[in-house]
Chain A
């Protein structure tokens, strides 16, 4: 996902928020991972907005995408220029209304934004893990989030909401802990990564790993593989856009010049945009985290994990009510992948709503301010909230 952090024009916001963290799975009670290894202690960064009601029935868990973090909404201080990544959706009177709901946004295992990941200190060596960090899965990320939810004393989650890699986590929640999830909103996501998605991720990982500064993942006390990570991010940005959005946004327009330069400095606006996005990304993201999280996404396959190869069988575990949303120009997780999920959910008699939103902005559409998406989410949440009171 890219960095659309628009300050809300109406200035409706949760205001100043604080990043919190929880450390658990301290040795010898380490967390068991899907690959057979154990990990501990584990720290997860998280934020909460709104008030938990007395019967703890108004909990919304927001799950972020590849490069996101726990900071979904609000500002860290009064003069903070940049709000959370889903400021347009989360706040008082917004699609996910913090007047009504207690919103938790949890960072993921393997991340570099305050949670345990490859850049954290390995307690056995007192140095950063690097590639000694175990390869974690989406299932492991969700198991860690479950520890956070337990810590907050929450037994049932009214809705798990996430787009892209956040959507993978939302689906995992519904199948791993079916009795805890009342409803789910998987946006622009997929039940398993396609060859196309894996291919893009692999090229991005290769870009990092061929950077001489990568040094097999041990770079934390020297120069970082910034060039590789920037190229990886550039590839990501291409997959988040669409042919149409690139045509509208850049076309063949030149950047700061009237004619070709006849060198490789970058003539086109689209080149300049990608270079800017790449350069900005390395300031805040760890290359190893990028490797681990993309790998987890590539491994994700609920048909394999829960259905012995059958998507219908996988969803037979689910108990949640679903709102599935896809976007017409998303070529990273195209609509047919959402429709395959919807089909399998129908065969299991699940309560499922599905809408394909017409949008030119590619995969990133789920992050952009959209009246349609806002009212869909608000209406769906209100219904499931009312139905739990019956």
Chain B
């Protein structure tokens, strides 16, 4: 994603990744990437160091999501947060019919090996924004196709139909 942004949008960008091999792959491709824990790395930057801070498919793996969201809105003017929607109809149906933790393309792990320690739905995130005290500036609910190369934006019943939620967030005015 960083590579896409740098190549196509000509942005100046920095990535944070924990895994040495992934860090090395990014640096080899010519990206600026720091190896470290996102929860700690965000603390070092000065206020408003970035225009945008993107948490791509990361929030569901964070132990203290409120703290991290506040940190990214301190170091960036705006944030972009995306996560797999846990209230998609397929997830609900699986839980209802099989009585087991659901497995989908977006959430492919078993309960005991998933890195996704938080289950978030689009509706949960809206509620979370009010409780934590940040604004949702724009939101897009996306339903990906089978190959997951592209998706459609969903307007109606998004919490039920979308596989992913993408939010543009900012500080409360």
List chain A positions with a Cβ less than 8 A from chain B: 321, 323, 339, 342-343, 346-347, 349, 351-358, 372, 375-376, 378-380, 382-383, 386
Contact = CB atoms under 8 A, between A and B. Distances in A.
4 tightest Cβ-Cβ pairs between the two chains A and B:
A379-B28, A383-B30, A346-B44, A354-B34
A323 B34 CA distance: 9
Contacts of B20: 355-358
B24 A346 contact: no
B32 interface: yes
B27 A352 contact: no
Contacts of A342: 34, 36
B23 interface: yes
Contact of A356 (B30, B35, B46, B49): B35
Secondary structure at chain B's binding surface: helix, strand, loop or mixed?
loop
Contact of B35 (A346, A355, A380): A355
B89 interface: no
Interface in B16-69: 20, 23-24, 27-36, 41, 44-46, 49
Nearest to A321: B32
Contacts of B31: 353, 383
Contacts of B30: 379-380, 382-383, 386
Contacts of B35: 354-356
A375 B27 CA distance: 9
Contacts of B41: 346
Contacts of A352: 14, 32, 34
Interface of B: 12, 14, 20, 23-24, 27-36, 41, 44-46, 49
Contacts of A353: 27, 31-34
B51 to A, nearest CB: 13
Given A342-B34, A353-B33, 4 more contacts: A352-B32, A355-B20, A356-B20, A376-B27
User: Considering residues A339, A346, A382, which has the most beta carbons from chain B within 10 angstroms of its beta carbon?
Assistant: A346
A202 B39 CA distance: 39
A372 B44 contact: no
B46 A375 contact: no
User: Considering residues B20, B29, B33, B35, which has the most beta carbons from chain A within 10 angstroms of its beta carbon?
Assistant: B35
Given A353-B32, A356-B35, A347 B45 contact: yes
A376 B23 CA distance: 9
B23 A346 contact: no
A158 to B, nearest CB: 14
Nearest to A378: B28
